Amino acid sequence: MSTAAPAGRPPMWVRSSYSNGAGGECVECARVTRGVLVRDSKDAGGPVVTVGAGAWRCFVGGLGRGRSVPPA
């Protein structure tokens, strides 16, 4: 995983529907060619984590089945 956004076109960020309206606990994601970028919406200029497409599908699939994700 990388902690920097790739160069080129700016990503189109989408905020989680589970984020609260007060600005806390907000996560934003953006699709890129080989996966998904994830960042803290309260720190848009801060670190960005790049997650590979396969790992992201597994993560989202696990959420859909109500499974917790084990720590790395």
pLDDT per residue as tens digits for the range 8-19: 778 999 987 766
DSSP string, 1-57: --SSPPSSSPP--EE-TTS-TTS-S-EEEEEETTEEEEEEGGGTTS--EEEEHHHHH
Q: Answer for the pair 11, 5: CB distance below 8 angstroms, yes or no.
A: yes
Per-residue pLDDT at 19? 64
Task: Dig out the tokens for 67 from the structure.
Answer: 């499974």
What mean pLDDT value characterizes the chain?
79
pLDDT in tens, 18-52: 666 665 668 899 999 889 999 988 888 999 999 99
Per-residue pLDDT at 3? 46
CA geometry: angle 69, 2, 61, nearest 5 deg: 30
Per-residue pLDDT at 37? 95
